[in-house]
Chain A
């Protein structure tokens, strides 16, 4: 049996070496062809979005479609920003995403320090409670959260949009994992030198978990930027809508004006795309870790 196998292997290798001039090139062409087909599938919708947004009125509804606009124009961008508070949505999205991210990073890294580097009674039980809540989907908590926000008088307000989303347990979990990996000796040395807990946290621990913190920051920013459900629940005043909610309102008003709508979509996608180009590594890391939480 074994002999048969190896003789087969011998034949295989012989035939292969004869073909070796042609096969690899053919394989390579096929390989890159597949990659290009895949990449095109991913890119065409984005290109189509940009192309549509640059077409003058009426040029979207032609057959065959113009892939590159014959007369490119920025009139859709002018219309969508003048007739619709698009810039207001953009501003709201920036405020909400920046503050949510800052809050999430600060509060979860601080709590993580307590969970990972301090001793107190009931610590592990409390953390287990945190972990247990991670299994509960947001759809369960959103109804009481809405009632709470209403009681606080935070409906249609920035605090209502921002504060409840700042305490996602995932952040604390992730930061604790990172902090656990820091060797004890480092902080002991700092305490010997008379440092207090805040100094140890800020000067010793944070610098060491910077990459993780960055990944959490990027991940939170993206989640907040793209969040639709929570703004949909909390905001009814158009002036306070974030971009995803704003786009859905845009759709409600100009459902068939595709040039205008695609201009709105481009405005909403561009900022996160720019961040992505510069911090790609952290996006991928953040998303991978978010998968690990379950």
Chain B
């Protein structure tokens, strides 16, 4: 009887777990392991696989193009993160109360989040059009001659940053709204009895108590923005003059344009290390918060 139920359990375990487990091992587990192995080889997909030890990683450290893409990614992050944090929080604060049309405004702010990066990038590329785009037209009405935006190495990345922030503000807003809901109203009641005005309340209650959410949002945005790719690919293709080439694009080019699989894999592991660092910081912090 016991043997019977055991067999049955095993049968059901196979039914439930096996399809997912096989998919997981084939398309996630095995690729992770092989990616690490490939990163120590020289392989163009056609010829022999040649193990070259740490050569790819050494080459990476000396590759100016890699460092340019790294620097560009950092530049993107430095512009993008403050923008989404400030505007995401502002939108959340505006919408964090009972009011008319709240659902409408929330849905509107979230609209760009559901739209694909490709669609958003094409629309913004048109908005940025130096001659007939809406942005430079708007600037011209107040007497400013707009820049060349995506065509100018000095402003191209700024253009990418603004469009990316515009798309993600709604996402950050939703995360902040969740954090705001966790702040007990009693804090505000106590503060208003003490006569603290709205601005003081924001500065002394909301922002400090929101710190865990802010931290969390910052880490998530950091992890996501190290992987920036679609919008750069569509809006600038990395140009002009490599001024917007980012890390993932560099990986993509080496893997699927030059078929330099080993080198591209090594780059992807450096990207992993950077992302892992931030994940680790976050887990460290969360542990501290729990104890």
Contact = CB atoms under 8 A, between A and B. Distances in A.
A169 B16 contact: no
Interface string A230-269: 0011000000000111011001000000100110010011
Given A114-B17, A225-B116, A48 B27 contact: no
B114 A272 contact: yes
Interface string A114-152: 110011100000100110010111111111111110100
Given A63-B137, A137-B272, A144-B34, A41 B195 contact: no
A137 B34 CA distance: 14
A126 B25 CA distance: 11
A125 to B, nearest CB: 13
Contacts of B118: 226, 228, 243-245, 247-248, 268
A151 to B, nearest CB: 11
A276 B17 CA distance: 32
Interface residues of A, number: 95
A111 B21 contact: yes
B111 A43 contact: yes
Interface stretch (A79-87, A196-204, A209-217): A196-204
Interface residues of B, number: 91
A9 interface: yes
A291 B230 contact: no
A222 B114 contact: yes
Interface stretch (A30-38, A68-76, A182-190): A30-38
A198 B219 contact: no
A248 B234 contact: yes
B132 A288 contact: no
B123 A145 contact: no
Interface in A20-37: 31, 34-35
Contact of A110 (B16, B90, B120): B16
Prevailing SS type, chain B contact patch = helix
Nearest to A277: B107
B171 interface: yes
Given A42-B170, A228-B117, A139 B268 contact: yes
Contacts of A46: 111, 123
Contacts of B30: 144, 148
Given A9-B195, A144-B31, A107 B20 contact: yes
B132 A107 contact: no
B204 interface: no
A201 B174 contact: no
B74 interface: no
Contact of B174 (A118, A144, A167, A288): A288
A44 B122 contact: no
A234 to B, nearest CB: 10
Given A39-B105, A233-B256, A251 B16 contact: no
Nearest to B21: A111
Contact of A42 (B108, B117, B171): B108
A61 interface: yes
A48 B134 contact: yes
Interface stretch (B60-68, B149-157, B275-283): B275-283
A148 B184 CA distance: 52
B135 to A, nearest CB: 10
Interface of A: 5-6, 8-10, 12-13, 31, 34-35, 38-39, 41-46, 48-49, 52, 60-65, 107-108, 110-111, 113-115, 118-120, 126, 129-130, 133, 135-148, 150, 163-164, 166-167, 169, 172, 196-198, 201, 222, 225-226, 228-229, 232-233, 243-245, 247-248, 251, 258, 261-262, 265, 268-269, 272-273, 276, 280, 283-284, 287-288, 291, 294
Per CB-CB distance, the 7 closest pairs between chain A and chain B, nearest first, are A9-B195, A111-B20, A226-B116, A144-B31, A167-B23, A244-B118, A197-B12
18 contacts: A6-B194, A38-B91, A39-B105, A63-B131, A107-B20, A111-B17, A118-B16, A140-B269, A150-B45, A167-B24, A226-B117, A247-B118, A251-B234, A262-B126, A269-B116, A284-B106, A291-B216, A291-B220
Interface of B: 8-9, 12-13, 15-17, 19-21, 23-24, 26-32, 34-35, 38, 45, 90-91, 94-95, 105-120, 122-124, 126-127, 129, 131-132, 134, 137, 166, 169-171, 174-175, 178, 193-195, 197, 216-217, 219-220, 223, 226-227, 229-230, 233-234, 248, 251-252, 255-256, 261, 264-265, 268-269, 271-272, 275-276, 279, 282
